[in-house]
């Protein structure tokens, strides 16, 4: 019997990539790949420990897991990876609890913060 | 100008007159607020923090105990490279030793240094940013 949920997840990922994504460059060191990404949660954050406030813009990028190919291999996001979207550069950084990304269907929802604009 | 601002400004001038292992330009701020993209460059920020006056003689002579913080901050450029953190730690220590060596700022005499946190864990973990806070205690008579 057909697994309708599995089929639906795959269909959803295809539709997301086709109609709700933009091309970004995913970088790790000197390796990079162009992938279609959907911009997810947008949030302004402030870190105000020890009297110093650092403001950041946090954005989640949703990327099909199988598209994240660096140096010939499918990889998972790690802290320090970068995503370039237009003139803005985002860095993969952990959110509260230490999570770098979460798996959503067939995609990674990758947590990043703006580091260059 | 307020005594504590004179002291903070004297610390800024001393820092900017010295050649450290890394180029730096210190500035005084009332609150060190930065956007993360700004932190690609080294920031050394001097912040006046507290002043406490104590009468030490019956004729009204008093003593001012002042605390001034020096923030050393930079977003780490490299991935998983403790060497960059080590270099910034060296710089923070250089600043401590240099300021203690001078000892007098705006008429106030250094009495104690608290280097805490040497590296702020939350900034390092969540932002991959080095933040070190040096708090100088000084006394003016």
Q: What is the pLDDT of residues A20-44, one digit of tens each?
A: 788 999 999 899 999 999 988 777 7
Structure tokens at A37: 């990404």
Tell me the chain A residues in contact with residue B31 when contact means C-beta distances shorter than 8 Å. Answer: 51, 53
For the ranges A51-65, B75-89, B96-110, the one whose mean pLDDT is highest: B96-110
**pTM assigned to the model:** 0.85
Q: Which residue of A has its CA nearest to B39?
A: A115
Q: How many domains is chain B partitioned into structurally?
A: 1
Predicted-assembly ipTM surpassing the 0.85 threshold: no
Tell me the chain B residues in contact with residue A29 when contact means C-beta distances shorter than 8 Å. Answer: 79
Q: Least CB-CB distance to B133: which of A29, A50, A113?
A: A50
- Expressed as residue numbers, the domain containing B23 is 3-32+41-140
Q: How many domains is chain A partitioned into structurally?
A: 1
Q: Are A94 and B125 in contact (CB < 8 Å)?
A: yes
A67-93 as b/e, with b when 16 or more CB fall inside 10 Å?
bbebeeeebebebbbbbebeebbbbbb
> Residue A73 in contact with residue A53, Cβ under 8 Å?
no
d(CA B27, CA B137): 19
Q: What CATH number is associated with residue A96?
A: 2.40.10
Q: Are A93 and B127 in contact (CB < 8 Å)?
A: yes
d(CA B134, CA B73): 11
d(CA B71, CA A47): 15
Q: What CATH number is associated with residue B60?
A: 3.30.2000.10
- Expressed as residue numbers, the domain containing A94 is 4-116
What are the residue ranges of helices labelled H in B36-115? 82-102
**pLDDT (tens digit per residue) in B120-136:** 988 888 888 999 999 99
Q: Tell me the pairing of strands B62-75 and A69-70.
A: unpaired
């Amino acid at each position: 019997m057909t697994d309708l949920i599995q089929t639906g997840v795959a269909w959803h990922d295809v539709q997301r990539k086709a109609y709700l994504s933009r091309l970004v460059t995913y970088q790790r060191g000197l390796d990079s790949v162009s992938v279609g990404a959907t911009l997810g949660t947008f949030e302004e954050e402030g870190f105000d420990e020890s009297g110093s406030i650092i403001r950041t813009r946090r954005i989640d990028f949703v990327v099909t897991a199988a598209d994240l190919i660096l140096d010939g291999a499918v990889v998972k996001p790690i802290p320090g990876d970068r995503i370039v979207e237009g003139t803005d550069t985002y860095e993969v950084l952990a959110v509260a609890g230490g999570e770098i990304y979460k798996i959503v269907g067939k995609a990674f929802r990758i947590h990043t913060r703006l580091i260059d604009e | 100008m307020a005594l504590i601002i004179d002291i903070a400004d004297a610390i800024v001038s001393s820092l900017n007159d010295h050649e450290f292992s890394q180029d730096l330009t210190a500035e005084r701020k009332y609150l060190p607020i930065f956007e993360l993209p700004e932190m690609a460059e080294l920031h050394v920020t001097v912040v006046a923090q507290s002043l406490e006056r104590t009468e030490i003689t019956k004729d009204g002579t008093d003593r001012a105990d002042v605390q001034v913080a020096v923030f050393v901050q930079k977003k780490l450029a490299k991935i998983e490279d403790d060497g960059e953190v080590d270099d910034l730690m060296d710089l923070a220590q250089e600043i401590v030793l240099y300021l203690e060596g001078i000892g007098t700022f705006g008429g106030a005499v250094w009495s104690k240094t608290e280097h805490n946190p040497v590296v702020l864990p939350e900034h390092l973990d969540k932002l991959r940013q080095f933040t070190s806070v040096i708090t100088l205690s000084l006394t003016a008579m």
